[in-house]
Structure 1
């Protein structure tokens, strides 16, 4: 899992250094909102439910090269199942955080996407009152053709400005007027022989069902099942 996190971090750095100069929202200045958004990452608990976390160090120079305000990386291991999930969060201005998704960058690093295009999936987190709360992800599997084993990486990614996590087809346009943006990656190793039972939710999405309410509380100070409008830059 350390190798997976290192890969994602490396790709984020490449993303930052390749972005065309000029983040849209940054032109109007949103320094305070950006600093607060990055600081809120400190509120993410190390452990929740059966998941125990372990932080991965991020070199400040890597964050600078990625043109991000903050990059957060943590591995979560389930105490009961021993399944591991790598979580990476990039916080910054939308012009940088919105671009270059794994379907582009992973393949640029010698990994092959197992499908013709990423799949968009939704998961209904709901709440105790039964109120629907649908979150949206893009996902794809990747592998290295020259790898000694046939292990694949399944990546889910999504963005949020306000506690609603979405995966638009054109995120750069979608978030153009926002001051800040979070991008979330959930990555796990997958055996080529893995098969889900009919109606069974992918383990990564089962993890996301537990993670998203935790993130919303930490990043947006939201109770489970609620969203609120994020600050928007003046047009």
Structure 2
């Protein structure tokens, strides 16, 4: 019968704790790496999401050429005649990063009403976030009443627009009527969250004019004449 070598048992016993200690250290390092990896992944994901919402991850198509088509909008629609066309304000152009824009003043030869219209095409993020409620309220005016949805139907589309009315700070009655909405190439919509639309680029239309009355609202009358031409230009 062989006698067990006590030295072998001693070496085996001494190696056990060392191996366990090494395994524990490796596991600790791995466990610390997991939160770091998750943090990096979330940071990258948030950058991608923000870039998508901001419209920076655009397809390689000629967006400038598409924006240039806005210049084809007519100078006359029924009683409405173009009297002035101006470039988009330099500060607004830089902020909105438009691929194309038209800012025009139209006059109604029948009732002498005048409206200003801006048609913009650009990346979804900047085009979506600037609304009249914010812009006009910071320019010495105040909103009167609530923003509401208006419907305009053409032979091709059923458009929905936001409308809001504004007054000078010292006045109680509204004197300015503003209609606006967004489109991805189809009907314009009064959207609460256009920035999350599943599209890379947006059109925006905004019309401002006198309030008028229920039987004659210049902004509505202008859009009824103007939108059929817009439908033929946007994609």
Same fold, judged at TM 0.5 (above)? yes
Structure 2: which 5+ residue stretches go unaligned?
1-49
- The structure with the larger Rg is 2
Q: CA deviation digits over 1:86-111, x for unaligned, max 9?
A: 10112100111011311122112231
Give, in angstroms, the shift of residue 143 of structure 1. 1.2
Q: 1:168 to 1:62 in 2, by over 3 A?
A: closer
Q: Which structure's residues are more often helix, by fraction?
A: 2
Structure 1: which 5+ residue stretches go unaligned?
1-20, 128-132, 221-235
Provide the residue aligned with 2:165 in structure 1. Answer: 141
Distance in 2, matches of 1:66 and 1:93, equals: 8
Alignment of 1:16-35 (within 5 A): 22=51, 24=53, 26-35=55-64
C-alpha RMSD over aligned residues: 2.4
Indicate which of 41, 44, 65 corresponds to 2:70: 41
Distance in 2, matches of 1:43 and 1:163, equals: 18
Secondary structure at the residue paired with 1:32? coil
Give, in angstroms, the shift of residue 23 of structure 1. 5.2
Alignment of 1:130-169 (within 5 A): 133-146=157-170, 152-169=175-192
Indicate which of 210, 218, 229 corresponds to 1:189: 210
| TM-score, with structure 2 as normaliser | 0.70
Runs of 4 or more above 4 Å deviation? 59-62
| TM-score, with structure 1 as normaliser | 0.70
Quick one: higher RCO (CA 8 Å, sep 6+), 1 or 2? 1
Give, in angstroms, the shift of residue 160 of structure 1. 0.8
Indicate which of 223, 227, 231 corresponds to 1:208: 223
Give, in angstroms, the shift of residue 150 of structure 1. 6.2
Secondary structure at the residue paired with 1:28? coil
Provide the residue aligned with 1:218 in structure 2. Answer: 233
| C-alpha contact 1:63 1:70 (8 A) present in aligned 2 | no
User: How many residues get paired?
Assistant: 185
Give, in angstroms, the shift of residue 38 of structure 1. 1.0
